């Protein structure tokens, strides 16, 4: 399955996908890694993995609609069967989301629908929840609200600060994202009327 991965930062989720593919555990061809920031370390991870990289700096576009139109043109140059958002810190326009409906995934560091948006670990600590985690979901126009495919839970431990909790969640992200992408690549994942169906092995 040809995929394109979109990043903005460190790219540890990208790395877990690169590693799973290299180990033969994920039947995908990463055709390009696209970042909106030239300084994203994830670009270095892609280069080390021999993967084509592109930077589309959002500051070069006059507005969000223009940026997303340019981004769609860039993504479609690689003709992906799946677009993977991995720490891509941009709000997407409904037009772009509609263009990739049913074939764009995102990972969010919370047990959705809890803690949509940013700073999820600090907010989880402030809310004194005993469990936290990560969610992989299909991308829909409403932020962090698409149908959830798979979630991982972690305990919130006494003495946790945001960094400790984030690290515990991130380790689980690296487990569930390759899993969800593999299910999609195997043609087992389907979006039916807003519901996620996972067909048998
Ligand atoms: C992670 O918390 C992930 O959930 C979110 O961005 C953060 C950094 O991810 N999407 P990465 O290390 O850049 O993959």
18 φψ region: left (φ > 0), alpha (ψ -120 to 50), beta (else): alpha
pTM tops 0.90, yes or no: yes
Q: From the annotation, which residues make up the binding site for (6R)-10-formyltetrahydrofolate? A: 64, 89-92, 106
Ligand 1 neighbourhood includes 80 CB (under 6 angstroms): no
What is the arithmetic mean of pLDDT over 97-108? 97
ipTM given for this complex: 0.96
Ligand 1 neighbourhood includes 110 CB (under 6 angstroms): no
pLDDT 10s digits, 149-161:
999 999 999 999 9
Residue 35 pairs in a beta bridge with: 7, 55
pLDDT at 6: 98
pLDDT at 159: 96
pLDDT at 146: 96
**Probe ligand 1: pick from 36, 144, 170, max atoms within 8 Å of CB?**
170
> Residue of the nearest CA to atom 4 in ligand 1?
109
**Which residues, other chains included, contact 55 with Cβ-Cβ below 8 Å and sequence gap of 6+?**
34, 35, 36, 37, 38, 43
pLDDT 10s digits, 7-38:
999 999 999 999 999 999 999 999 999 999 99
pLDDT value at 190 more than 90: no
Q: Which two tokens stand for residue 45?
A: 């991870």
The minimum-distance atom of ligand 1 relative to the CA of 106 is 10
Ligand 1 neighbourhood includes 151 CB (under 6 angstroms): no
pLDDT value at 45 more than 80: yes
**Does the active-site annotation cover 99?**
no
What mean pLDDT, rounded, does the chain reach?
Answer: 97
**CA 51 to centroid of ligand 1, rounded, Å:** 19
What is the arithmetic mean of pLDDT over 112-132? 98
Residue 165 and residue 156 in contact, taking contact as beta carbons nearer than 8 Å: yes
């Amino acid at each position: 399955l040809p995929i394109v991965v979109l990043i903005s930062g460190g790219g540890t989720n990208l790395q877990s996908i690169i590693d799973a593919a290299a180990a033969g555990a994920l039947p995908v061809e990463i055709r390009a890694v696209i970042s909106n920031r030239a300084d994203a370390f994830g670009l270095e991870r892609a280069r080390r993995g021999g993967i084509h990289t592109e930077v589309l700096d959002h500051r070069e576009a006059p507005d969000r609609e223009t940026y997303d139109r340019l981004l769609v043109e860039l993504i479609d140059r690689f003709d992906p069967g799946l677009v993977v958002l991995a720490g891509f810190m941009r709000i997407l326009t409904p037009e772009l989301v509609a263009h990739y409906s049913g074939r764009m995934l995102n990972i969010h560091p919370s047990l959705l629908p809890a803690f949509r948006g940013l700073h999820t670990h600090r907010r989880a600590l402030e809310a004194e929840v005993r469990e936290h985690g990560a969610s992989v979901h299909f991308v829909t126009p409403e932020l962090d609200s698409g149908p959830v495919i798979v979630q991982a839970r972690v305990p919130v431990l006494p003495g946790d600060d945001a960094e400790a909790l984030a690290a515990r969640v991130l380790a689980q992200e690296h487990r569930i994202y390759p899993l969800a992408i593999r299910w999609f690549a195997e043609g087992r994942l389907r979006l039916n009327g807003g519901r996620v169906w996972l067909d048998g092995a």
